Structure 1
Amino acid sequence: MRHPDEVLEQIRTRYRKNWRDWLLHAGETAFSFPLGAANAQEIARESDTVGHWIRVWRNWSGKHPAAQLRTAIRRTVIGPQEIITHLDVPTIVDLVALDENLRDHWRRATARWARLVTLPGGLVTERVRPHLPQIIDLDETDFDILIKSVVWFTENPRSGLTIRQVPILGMHTKWLARHRRLILACLNIMENPHVSSDQPDEELEQHDLDPLGLKALPVHIDVILADPADRARVGGLRHLRAPLPEIDALPICPDTVMIVENKETAYLVPDQPRTVVIHSLGNHLNVLDNITWLHPARQLYWGDLDRAGFLLLSRARARLPHLASVLMDPHTLEEHKELAVEDKTQTDRPLPNLTDTETSTLDALSTEQGGHVRLEQERLPSPFVLNRLGRTR
């Protein structure tokens, strides 16, 4: 015999599985839940227990008049007995009224769906369906920006603007990175095969923005000209930051190019003949494909000793197969492990192109307690760094 709490859990489960179908296709219009009623033998044998169970349900029903208790007559050795067999609920509205959270969710879902279906251009329901949970869970501000964004992109499909130029209050790079797929679904635009991760800290690239008719800001590259002869060709500048085409056009032909994850440590690299440092790329590793003077040179990579650092190394090596790492080895980690801190960040696994030494270092970042540590480049002592870099010449 099921009690009200058990049946309410069944109702919640059915709602979670079916609410999108009910919203999009007006599915079930009446609901029935069997209560596991006692049979004739159980009624006769446990009449007090069964009687208490019936009273519990009748008390519950008195507080929820829209939900009806269905009864049947059981013939028992003590005579005919009326027993409750099912809980019948006539409509979806009556169903969600049985649980405050379901009621609030359904009210928000129906209100938002009513706004979505009035958007210009028309929705393709099956395109939007997978994204409905995220859309319904948006706070009011984000949902309002979503609606305004869909309207604006429908009216301006090829604006050629940057994200910040879109005249929608609240629209910015991180917001669009987080909600881009929702906009595309509402616009009935197929996802670009080269998708971004849609995370707020990710930079959107041009292929992410093309479906929306937007233009990415020019990617600027940071370089250090460690060769005084190279600096003489550009007015003596050692540190340069310029758009990718200008960096590619520099009149240089280095023998060694070192790719360094962070700016502060890149500044440690001393002057060396025919050496250039590229630093602070973050996830913009695709630019490595388009720097002509980089590819004939010997290529080195120096990143943080953490899982993210090895992930970036693996991604860079996927573009530069001959890329060699420096200061990312077990000796560097072991000698300075007291400078490491706990690493709670979530990150993807590296590509399967790390060397055995790099893999050993990555494994050594794991702790016996199941966690991880990170040793940032900046924590390494300068004399140690300069000594090791000097051996790479």
Structure 2
Amino acid sequence: MITPQEIKKKAERKYEPFLQSIIESKPFEKLVIRGDKSYTKSSLPEFENEIQLIVSQSKENKGFGYTLEFQRVKTKGLGTQDLPISIFFESEIDFLKFLGKEKEVELFKESVNKILESFPELREWIIKNPRKIIQNQTRWEDILKVCQYFQQNPKPNLYIRELPIKVHTKFLERNQSVIRELLDMLISEHINIDEKLFEKRFNLKYAEPQIRFKVLDKEIAQKFFSGIDDLAISVSQFETLNLPIKKVLVVENKTTLYTTLTLPKMNDTIAIFGGGYGVLNLKNVEWFNDLELYYWGDIDVQGFEILSQFRSYFPQTQSVLMDIQTFDNFFEGDQGTPTKISIELNLTNLEQELYNILNENNWRLEQEKIPFEYVNNYFDNE
């Protein structure tokens, strides 16, 4: 036989459809809870306790909640007994008091009215997302302020904290998920649909990633940067650089970027800190297309996977100091990090052979463990 706990679980599953019926202005209809009409107790006292438990939490006993309808049935072993054949909630108040949701539904109705007064076009979204209305119960007034601002100013070109909206400075950042959903509908013709970053999607300024690079040609450093050879600028600024260079060396680790200070003078060359998979930030640097590109990463599976990624942007990329001879000379038995990548990589035959060895043995040789003298000699002979 069904227990009060099971009745509550089944009633809770009907709560969301009930909320949807409120938005759709449907009158409350009797909510029926399907119950197990069988009984599990073999003795009369146990059976009576089972019945007493279900009755104790019913409207008959508590004044609200579910109503029980009984039918006299001839049972096997217990004779003729009154068994519950129907369990239902007669009214909205019975249902909500049983779930302890009266106040929540009152606030839900207020929130729905606020949203529809400002944006009647959100009606279908509300019907599909009643739980989100409740999850943001105390924030709707400010959420609507944000939406109203963007509807009037769909391309603000300001930083989030510059927006002239009378909400807490961190409000939009903390509530991006629901605001994004709403703006996608309210200003759909103005959004950058392929962008996932909130600021890019909704035409806002944002703190761009920085590209850190070293100018290895002192004459270029002097002419263009007053002798400064170690710089960091935003991605968009880096994409517009116009330097008289022929070669770019991308290095995986920051420590290796410092190593380039000791390199022999390299004419017409800059070295860039790629930051591992951060090479993604370089994918739209169109002036790379006409240059000689070199990638120097750790000799491990991730190093070659990053090389493959960078080469997918710029097919002319060559690897440096990522060969079997360098590995054999300086490998100290370090363990690497197992790869999760199973796709075919964009590597040369020799690179792929070394990658397979590293992958099978989980080996790693970090850039920092290659002696400066060896590195200097390598580039001196290039």
Contact 1:306-1:362 at 8 Å conserved across structures? yes
Do residues 160 (structure 1) and 153 (structure 2) align?
A: no
Q: Which range moves more in the overlay, 182-191 or 327-336? A: 327-336
- Residue 66 of structure 1 deviates from its aligned partner by 3.1
Cα pair distance change 1:381/1:217, threshold 3 Å: closer
- What is the SS of the residue equivalent to 1:292? helix
The verdict on how the C-alpha distance between 1:82 and 1:195 changes in structure 2, with shifts beyond 3 A counting, is same
- In the alignment, is the contact (CA less than 8 A) between 2:292 and 2:316 conserved in 1? no
CA contact (8 A) 1:150 1:183 kept: yes
Instruction: Report deviation, 1:277.
Output: 1.9
Amino acid in the other structure paired with 1:254? K
Query: Could you tell me which residue of structure 2 aligns to residue 201 of structure 1?
Result: none
Question: Residue 36 of structure 1 aligns with which residue?
Answer: 36
| 1:298-317 superposed matches below 5 A | 298-300=293-295, 302=297, 315-317=309-311
Q: CA deviation at 1:56?
A: 0.8
1:12 lines up with 2:12 in the alignment:
yes
Deviation of residue 57 (structure 1)?
Answer: 1.0
Instruction: Say whether 1:353 aligns with 2:345.
Output: yes
Give unpaired runs (5+ residues) of structure 1: 199-203, 367-374
Segment of structure 1 superposing worse, 328-337 or 27-36: 328-337
Match of 1:249 among 238, 241, 254: 241
Question: How far, CA to CA, are the matches of 1:311 and 1:69 in structure 2?
Answer: 66
Q: Quick one: structure 1 residues 247 and 188, their matched pair in 2 at CA, closer, same or farther if it must change by over 3 Å?
A: closer
Q: Return the offset for 1:197.
A: 6.3
Q: Secondary structure at the match of 2:143?
A: helix
SS in 2 for 1:88: strand
C-alpha distance in structure 1 between counterparts of 2:153 and 2:243, whole Å: 41
1:112 counterpart = 2:111: yes
C-alpha displacement at 1:221, in angstroms? Answer: 3.5
1:88 Cα deviation (Å)?
A: 0.9
Tell me how far apart the structure 2 counterparts of residues 133 and 304 of structure 1 sit (CA, whole Å): 50
The equivalent residue for 1:279 is 273
CA pair 238-178 structure 1, distance change in 2 beyond 3 A: farther
Aligned to 1:170: 169
**Contact 1:2-1:35 at 8 Å conserved across structures:** yes
Greater Cα offset, 310-319 or 56-65: 310-319
1:268 is paired with a residue whose SS is: helix
- 1:87 equivalenced with 2:87 (yes/no): yes
Change in CA separation of 1:175 and 1:57 when aligned onto 2, cut-off 3 Å: closer
Which of 276, 282, 288 is the aligned partner of 2:283? 288
> Is contact 1:128–1:186 with CA below 8 Å preserved after alignment?
no
In 2, the alpha carbon distance for the partners of 1:389 and 1:123 equals 66
Does residue 115 of structure 2 align to residue 125 of structure 1? no
Give the direction of change, closer, same or farther, for the CA distance of 1:242–1:24 in structure 2 (3 Å limit): same
CA distance in 2, matches of 1:263, 1:196: 28
Corresponding residue of 1:70: 69
Q: 1:166, CA displacement in angstroms?
A: 0.8
**1:161: Cα distance to partner?**
2.5
8 Å Cα contact 2:216/2:268 also seen in 1: yes
**Does structure 1 retain, via aligned residues, the 8 Å contact 2:252–2:274?**
yes
Secondary structure, aligned partner of 1:258: strand
The corresponding residue for 2:186 is 187
Q: Alpha-carbon deviation of 1:224?
A: 1.2
Q: For the Cα contact (< 8 Å) 2:69–2:84, is it kept in 1?
A: yes
Stretches of structure 2 lacking an aligned partner (at least 5 in a row): none
Aligned to 1:3: 3
Shift of residue 19, structure 1, vs aligned partner: 5.9
**C-alpha deviation, 1:70, in angstroms:** 1.9
Does residue 268 of the first structure (1) align with residue 259 of the second (2)? Answer: yes
Kindly report the root-mean-square deviation, in angstroms, between the aligned alpha carbons of the 2 structures: 4.6
The answer to whether the 8 Å contact 1:306/1:376 transfers is: no
Task: Give the TM-score normalised by the residue count of structure 2.
Answer: 0.71
Task: Report the Cα distance in structure 2 between the residues aligned to 1:180 and 1:389, rounded to whole angstroms.
Answer: 54
CA deviations over 1:67-111 (Å, ceiling 9, x no partner): 2112223246887532212221134554343345x6676566444
- The count of aligned residue pairs is 359
The answer on whether the counterparts of 2:215 and 2:271 sit within 8 Å (CA) in structure 1 is yes
Q: 1:209 aligns with which of 197, 202, 213?
A: 202
Asked whether 1:224 is paired with 2:219, we answer no
Aligned equivalents of 1:349, 1:178: Cα separation in 2: 30
Q: CA deviation at 1:238?
A: 0.5
Q: Matches of 2:372 and 2:173 in 1, distance apart?
A: 35
> 1:151: which partner in 2?
148
In the aligned structure 1, how far is the partner of 2:179 from the partner of 2:255? 33
Q: Cα 1:109–1:385, aligned 2, differ >3 Å: closer, same or farther? A: farther
Residue 33 of structure 1 deviates from its aligned partner by 0.9
1:122 maps to a residue whose letter is P
Amino acid at match of 1:276: I
Q: 1:37 to 1:103 in 2, by over 3 A?
A: same
Q: Letter of the 1:160 partner, please give it.
A: N
Aligned CA distance change for structure 1 residues 76 and 306 (closer, same or farther; 3 Å)? same
> Alignment partner of 1:230: what SS?
helix
What is the one-letter code of the residue matched to 1:223? Answer: F
Q: Please state how far the C-alpha of 1:32 moved relative to its aligned partner.
A: 0.8
> CA separation in 2, counterparts of 1:188 and 1:98?
41
Separation (CA, whole Å) in 2 of partners of 1:245 and 1:335: 41
Q: Secondary structure at the match of 1:118?
A: helix
Q: If you compute each CA radius of gyration, which structure gives the higher value, 1 or 2?
A: 2
Shift in Å at residue 53 of structure 1?
Answer: 1.4
Alpha carbons of 1:245 and 1:188: their partners in 2 closer, same or farther (altered >3 Å)?
A: closer
